[in-house]
Amino acid sequence: MEMPTPDASILARKPQIVARLEAVLPPGAVISDPMETRAYECDGLTAYRCQPLAAVLPASTEEVAAVLRICHEERVPVVPRGSGTSLAGGAMPTADSVILGVARLNAVLETSYDDRYIRVQTGRTNLSVTGAVEADGFFYAPDPSSQLACAIAGNIGMNSGGAHCLKYGVTTNNLLGVTMVMMDGEVVELGGAHLDAAGYDLLGVVCGSEGQLGVVTEATLRILPRPEGARPIMLGFDSNEVAGACVADIIRAGVLPVAIEFMDRPCIRACEAFVHAGYPDVEALLIVEVEGSEEEIASQLARIRTIAERHSPSELRESESAEQSALIWKGRKAAFGAMGQINDYMCLDGTIPVSALPMVLRRIEELSAQYGLEVANVFHAGDGNMHPLILFNANVPGELEKCEALGADILCLCVEAGGCLTGEHGVGVEKRDLMSVQFSPVDLSAQMDVKDVFDPGWLLNPAKVFPLAASEARRAS
C-alpha cells in the first residue's frame, strides 16, 4: 500500500509539536512515546500499519479546536479517529501525522422525546445512544455490526448503515445536525434539532466525508419510538443465487421488512459454532425481520412466506420467542468475529442494485474459483450492501496480494453491475486506487474542489479517498 513520504521537517520538530499540544490539553491527553503510539498504528484494516507522530485525546470541542489550531500552524496532518473499527483504513496514520481520537467525547448533551432527537458528543458508541433512551421507549436506528464498539464520529464519517437500515435508512437519514471544528480551529454548526436547515445541504456533504473536511465533535441524532413488536424468519436455500433471487422478489413485491440479511454456508457454520443461534445448515440463509402489531407481523410474514415458497426453500422457520430472536441477531452481529476465529480474511464493502444480486453472487463464486481463494458472504441484502469476506493465509507469501487482486475484481464487478465501491465502510486507503474505476478525472476533480474549500492545506486525512497521483499537486501546495 503506497503512502506519501513523511515530511522530514515535521519529524524533526516532534518535541516542539508535542510540547505545544501538551500545553493546551490535560495531563495524559497527549501520547508520544513510540511504545504507546503503537496502539494507533492501524484500525480494523490491520494489514497495513504505521505509527503516528503522536496521538491526542481531547475531551471537549474547545480542546479539539486548540489541537487543530496548533497542527494548522505547524502544518501537521491530522487523522481523526473514532473507535478504530474502520475496515477501510480510514484511521490509518502516516509517520508525520497526529491522530485525533474522540473517545473521551462521550457525553449525552440533550434529549428531547417531544421532538424526537438526542444530542451527543461523537465519541459515544453507537449502541450506547440507544442505551440512553431505550428505558423511555425510544431507539437510534442505524445499527452497524460493530455497534457495541464503533463511535458516532466514525458512523458520520463513513455514513454507516446496518441490518435494520432497510426500513430506517443509514446515518445520513438519521443525522439532524453537527458541531464541527475546521482545520484552522474554527467551530461551525450545521443543521440542528429540526427537520431541515435553510441553504445548501452542507450536512449532507459532511456525512460520509471520511474526516476530510473537519472533525465532528457533537451530533444531533433522530430517535424513534420502539415498535410494538418484531419477529425474524429464517429462509434457507440450496444456492446463493436462488437466495438472491428471493430477496429481489421480496423487494419487487412492495414488502418493506425492517431487515433482510444474507449469510452463506461458511459464514453460517462459523456463526453457529460461535453463538449457537440455531441456524439451519444450508447453502444460503436469509434472515428477514418485520415489525409492528401482531396482526401486522402475521400479515407481512404470510406475504414473505408466499414469495419464498416460489423459490423452494429448504428451510422456513419463524422465531418463536424473544429469546430466540435475540439469538438469531446475536449470530448475525457476531459474523465478522466468528469468521476471524477460523481464518485470516479481508472484508469488502460494495453496493449493487438488488435486482443484480443473483448475477453478482454467481460471478463472485466464479472469481473465487479462478483465484483459488474461498469467499464467504454476509451482507445487508435488502439494500444490496454486500460484504464478501475473502479468506486467505497471511503467513503464505503472495496470498495477501492475491486476496487484494480478487477484492479489486469483486469491487469492479459491483460498479459494472450499476452499484458503487462502498456502501458504509468508506473508501479510506483500501479502495482509494479504485476510485478511477467509478469516477472520471472530472468527477474526482470536482470532489477534490470541495475538500479545497473546507481544508485548503489538505491537512485532514490527506492520503485517503483520492488516488495519490490525482491529489498530489493539491497536497503539495
Which string of DSSP letters, residue by residue, matches 33-101? -HHHHGGGS--S-TTS----SEEE---SHHHHHHHHHHHHHHT--EEEESSS--SS-TT---TT-EEEE
**% of the chain beyond a pLDDT of 70:** 100
DSSP string, 280-319: ---SEEEEEEEESSHHHHHHHHHHHHHHHHTT--SEEEE-
Strand partners, 178: 190, 219
- What's the confidence (pLDDT) of residue 145? 87
Q: Dig out the grid coordinates for 252 from the structure.
A: 419487487
At 36 the pLDDT is 97
d(CA 450, CA 226) in angstroms, rounded, equals: 38
Q: Are residues 149 and 75 in the same domain?
A: no
**Residue range 325-343: mean pLDDT, rounded:** 91
Whether residue 1 lies inside any domain: the answer is no
Residues 241 and 251 in one domain: yes
What average pLDDT does range 229-235 have in this prediction?
Answer: 96
pLDDT (0 to 100) of residue 39: 96
Are 134 and 221 in the same domain? yes
DSSP state of 178: E
Q: What is the average pLDDT score of the chain?
A: 95
Q: Which of 165-179, 186-200, 216-230, 288-302 has the lowest mean pLDDT?
A: 186-200
Residues 411 and 456 in one domain: no
Q: What is the pLDDT of residue 122?
A: 98
Q: What is the mean pLDDT of residues 42-48?
A: 92
Higher pLDDT, 373 or 383: 373
In this predicted structure, what is the pLDDT of residue 196?
Answer: 75
Residue that the C-alpha cell 444460503 belongs to:
284
Domain identity same for 81 and 117: no
> What would the grid cell of residue 92 be?
490509518
The sign one gets for the Cα dihedral 165, 444, 431, 10 is negative
282 occurs within a structural domain: yes
422 falls within a domain: yes
Question: Crossing angle, helix 357-371 and helix 399-416, to 10 degrees?
Answer: 160
Averaged pLDDT for residues 259-286: 95
Q: Do 81 and 92 reside in the same domain of the chain?
A: yes
3-class DSSP assignment, residue 14: helix
pLDDT value at residue 63: 98
pLDDT for residue 67 is more than 90? yes
Mean pLDDT of 108-116: 97
Q: For position 379, which CATH number holds?
A: 3.30.70.2740
Q: Could you tell me the residue range of the domain that residue 136 belongs to? A: 108-225
pLDDT at 2 over 90: no
Q: What is the pLDDT of residues 121-153, one digit of tens each?
A: 999 999 999 999 999 999 999 999 899 999 999
Query: Mean pLDDT throughout 24-39?
Result: 97
pLDDT at 209: 97
Which CATH number fits the domain that encloses residue 91? 3.30.43.10
Q: Kindly state the average pLDDT of the residues 309-315.
A: 96
Counting the structural domains of the chain, the total is 5
Domain boundary among 72, 101, 130: 101
The per-residue pLDDT for 341 is 87
Same domain, 119 and 197: yes
Instruction: For the chain, give the percent of residues with pLDDT over 90.
Output: 90
CA distances from 387 to 19, 20, 269, 329 (A): 43, 43, 17, 17
Both 31 and 92 in one domain: the answer is: yes
Task: Summarize the confidence of residues 113-122 as an average pLDDT.
Answer: 97
What is residue 294's predicted lDDT score, i.e. its pLDDT? 94
Q: What is the dihedral of CA 31, 34, 464, 382, to 10 degrees?
A: -80
Which of 76, 32, 87 lies closest to 57, judged by CA? 32
Q: Specify whether 305 is located in the same domain as 366.
A: no
Beta-strand relationship, 54-56 and 98-101 = parallel
The whole model's pTM is what?
A: 0.94
The answer to whether residues 112 and 219 belong to one domain is yes
Q: What is the pLDDT of residue 199?
A: 80
Q: What is the CATH number of the domain that holds 193?
A: 3.30.465.10
In this predicted model, what pLDDT tens digit does every residue of 145-179 receive, in sequence order?
Answer: 899 999 999 999 999 999 899 999 999 999 999 99
Residues 257 and 361 in one domain: no
Q: Check: CB of residue 44 under 8 Å from CB of residue 84.
A: yes
Q: What's residue 149's pLDDT? A: 94
Q: Please determine, for residue 195, whether its predicted confidence score (pLDDT) is greater than 90.
A: no
- Please say if the pLDDT value at position 200 is more than 90: no
